């Protein structure tokens, strides 16, 4: 049985075949190894499993020894790879308005990427998060997401633009020189979030629209696509849990409020999908715990906070109940063995293929 998970546009792999060939390796063998056909990449709008893309990037990076593989792939991207959304973004009067528009239509590009924008006075924090894929490393996929967002902003602001900070939650590469060259500054690693910190003034630079007619047509198309997009309550809850956990505000009441339903209605919706809120919360926490503990060197106390626990002791008690061992033992095993997974994570997901 193969877990299907979320789907994303095959445009996420634009340039992959050419990049791997330039490294002297066979991209088609890597694609076959994760269950993808090269034919799926011919149409950028074809939907492919996100977990397969993540696995492909990790396998390729390891096999080629290229730690900055995702950034090399991001460097090959053009604005047109966004499809109809690019027409709308180009006509927005400021980069900030273009960024807000991108967030509105983001689910049409990827069902797994979540972008949150926070205004902090003179700076704007652009947080990038990916819905977890149990058992699949996220490093390359996350660097691709942040790298593409950087390229989009440089297209909107100007070719010399640089962010104030570039942050990743995973540990640093052995050599970060390629990362410095790509972003124009040194990223920081083992951070509590992934994303970019920008000067607010940079996002308010006026732009001159040059094709408003095409933008209106594209926007009508995108709005129609949003209306026809079907997303279950479970996936909406997962996204909200992911967003609310670090602030310690992830309660059934809060999630129900953001979904504009009462708590009993939320429980009824989840029950119809064979779930409870507590089970979904534990599932997301388990996936995030594995990711942070395996891919970063964050202290246990910081991981506890990112998972919504007010005290490290509460997190450690929950972790032992969920995984059957202490955090320290899990990290030791994770460093020695292949990525560990909690077998209970997949039991509630009915989306499987024979």
pLDDT digits (tens, 9 = 90+) for 279-324: 999 999 998 999 899 899 999 999 999 999 989 999 999 999 999 9
Tell me the torsion sign for CA atoms 11, 157, 85, 97: positive
Arithmetic mean of pLDDT over the chain: 87
Q: Where in the chain is the domain with CATH 1.10.10.60?
A: 233-353
Q: What CATH number does domain 2-204 carry, 1.10.1740, 3.90.1520, 3.40.50, 3.30.870?
A: 3.90.1520
Give the CA diameter of the chain. 60
pLDDT value at residue 111: 81
- Across-strand partners of 120? 123
Q: Where in the chain is the domain with CATH 3.90.1520?
A: 2-204
The CA-to-CA distance between both ends of the chain, in Å, stands at: 5
Phi, psi (deg, nearest 5) at residue 352:
-135, 155
pLDDT value at residue 169: 95
What is the value of pTM for the model shown? 0.84
pLDDT tens digits, 4-39: 347 888 999 999 999 999 999 999 999 999 999 999
Is the CB of residue 7 less than 8 Å from the CB of residue 109?
no
Q: What is the CATH number of domain 233-353?
A: 1.10.10.60
pLDDT tens digits, 221-272: 888 887 776 567 888 888 888 888 887 788 999 888 888 888 899 899 899 8
More confident residue, 273 or 141: 141
351 pLDDT more than 50: no
Residue 140 structure tokens: 């390359």
- Across-strand partners of 117? 126
- Across-strand partners of 47? 9
pLDDT tens digits, 339-349: 444 433 333 33
Q: What is the DSSP string of 118-182?
A: EEETTEEEEEEEE---TT---HHHHHHHHHHHHHHHHHHH-TT---SEEE-SSPPPS--HHHHHH
Classified as helix, coil or strand, 93 is coil
Residue 206's CB is within 10 A of a number of other CB atoms, namely 7
């Amino acid at each position: 049985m193969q877990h299907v998970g979320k789907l994303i546009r095959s445009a996420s792999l634009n340039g992959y075949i050419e990049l791997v060939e330039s490294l002297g390796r066979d991209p088609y063998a890597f694609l076959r190894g994760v269950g993808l056909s090269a034919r799926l990449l011919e149409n950028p709008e074809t939907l492919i499993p996100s977990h397969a893309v993540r696995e492909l990037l990790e396998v390729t990076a390891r096999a080629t020894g290229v730690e900055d593989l995702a950034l090399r792939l991001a460097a090959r991207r053009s604005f047109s790879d966004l499809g109809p959304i690019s027409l709308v973004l180009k006509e927005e009067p400021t980069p900030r308005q273009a960024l807000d528009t991108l967030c509105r239509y983001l689910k049409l590009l990827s069902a797994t990427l979540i972008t949150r924008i926070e205004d902090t006075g003179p700076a704007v924090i652009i947080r990038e998060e990916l819905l977890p894929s149990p058992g699949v490393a996220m490093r390359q996929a996350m660097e691709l997401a942040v790298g593409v967002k950087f390229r989009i902003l440089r297209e909107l602001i100007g070719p010399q633009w640089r962010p104030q900070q570039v942050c990743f939650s995973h540990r640093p590469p052995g050599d970060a020189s390629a990362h410095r060259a790509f972003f124009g500054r040194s990223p920081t690693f083992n951070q509590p979030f992934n994303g970019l910190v920008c000067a607010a003034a940079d996002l308010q630079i006026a732009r001159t629209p040059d094709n408003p007619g095409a933008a209106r047509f594209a926007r009508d198309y995108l709005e129609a696509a949003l209306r026809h997009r079907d997303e279950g309550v479970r996936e909406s809850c997962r996204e909200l849990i992911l967003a609310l956990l670090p602030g310690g505000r992830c309660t059934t009441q809060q999630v129900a409020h953001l979904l504009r339903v009462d708590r009993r209605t939320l429980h009824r919706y989840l029950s119809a999908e064979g779930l409870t809120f507590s089970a979904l919360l534990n599932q997301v926490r388990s996936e995030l715990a594995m990711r942070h503990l395996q891919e970063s060197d964050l202290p246990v106390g910081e991981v506890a906070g990112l998972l919504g626990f007010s005290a490290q002791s509460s997190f450690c008690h929950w972790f032992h109940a969920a995984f059957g061992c202490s955090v320290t033992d899990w990290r030791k095993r994770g460093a020695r063995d292949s990525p560990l997974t909690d077998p209970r994570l997949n039991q509630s997901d009915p989306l499987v293929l024979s």
